Every structure is written in C-alpha cells, then in structure tokens.
Amino acid sequence: MEALLAITIGVLVASAVYLMLSRHVLRFIFGLVLISNAANMTIFTAGRLTPGRPPLIPEGAEAPPDLVANALPQALVLTAIVIGFGLFAFALILMFRVYTTLGTLDSDAMRVAEPREDTAG
C-alpha cells in the first residue's frame, strides 16, 4: 500500500514538474494543483497507513482499542486542502486577469514589470 502511494506521489510530482516548466502559465497552475495534491498525499502516507481501523472509541470505553488510524495527519491534510484550494482559486483568477490585462499567457512575454533593456530604450 505504501509503495503504491509512493509511486503515485512520484508520478504526480513528475507530471507536475513537467507542467510547471512550461512557459504557458495555465499549464503552470495545473502543475501546481498536481504537486499540492502530491504534498497532501505525502503527509497522509507519512502518517502511517492503518486501513480499516477508524479512530473511534467504542461506547462505554475510555480509550480506543489499540492500533487505530492516526487522525492527526488527516486533520493536517484537511487544513492543507482548504488552504491549497484558496491559493489555487486566487492563482486562477490572477491568471485570468493576466490574460485580460496583458493579453498573453506566455510567461516570457510578460515584461511589463521588468522591461527588456534593449526595447525599453
């Protein structure tokens, strides 16, 4: 199970890096989504996988039976997903504004803030 998840994370990161190396900023943010999910799965996997054992305390008992799934990494992932979603939403809108104000999605063509010396005169 760990091996499978590790390979999945590896594939996600590899595709994400490929996408993020593109000059096209829309591809870049698609890569960003993939890599942020890879990071979330890393946390999840690093917290140990204990399938089929929910961390529930049976009625009447004061502590859960031994060896239940660790709930903390899942809480961390949940927080990270929410934050990641917010950041992605912002990035998407930013790219849309880039397209409407600068008229391009090619990061090499975005030279308003740092104009080329030879063309700026």
Partner 1 sequence: MSWLLTLPLVLPFLTAVAAFLTRQSPLGRRISVLGNTLFLAASVALLVRVVQDDIVVGQMGGWAAPFGITLVADRLSAVMVVITAITALAVAIYALGDIDARKEYLGYHALFNVLIGGVTGAFVTGDLFNLYVWFEVMLISSFGLLVLGGKKAQIDGGVKYVTLNLISTILFLSGVGLLYGMTGTLNMADLARTLPTVENQGLVTVVAMMFMVAFGVKAALFPLFFWLPASYHTPAFSVSAVFAGLLTKVGVYALIRMFTLVFNGDMDFTHTILLWVAALTMITGVLGAAAQNDVRKILSFHIVSQIGYMIMGLALMTPLALAGAVFYLVHHIVVKANLFLIAGVMERTAGSTDLGRIGGFYKSAPLLAVLFLIPAFSLAGFPPLSGFWAQYVLVAAALEDSAWIIAAVALVVGLLTIYSMTKIWAEAYWKAHPEGLEPRLSALDGDRRRALLWPVAGLAAITLVIGFFPEPFVTFATDAAGQLLDPGEYVTAVLGQGAA
- Cα torsion at 60, 61, 64, 67 (round to 10°)? -110
Q: How many residues does the chain have?
A: 121
Of 100, 111, 108, nearest to 25 (Cα)? 108
Tell whether residue 23 is a contact of partner 1 (CB under 8 A).
Answer: no
Question: Strand runs (DSSP E) across 19-69, as ranges?
Answer: none
Among 65, 80, 85, 108, binds partner 1 (CB under 8 A): 80
Nearest CB to partner 1, comparing residues 59 and 114:
114
CB of 12 to partner 1, least distance (A): 11
Cα separation, 77 vs 119, in Å, equals 47
Residues binding partner 1 (CB under 8 A): 20, 25, 28, 32, 35-36, 38-40, 42-48, 72-73, 76, 79-80, 83, 86-87, 90-91, 94-95, 97-98, 101-102, 107, 110-114
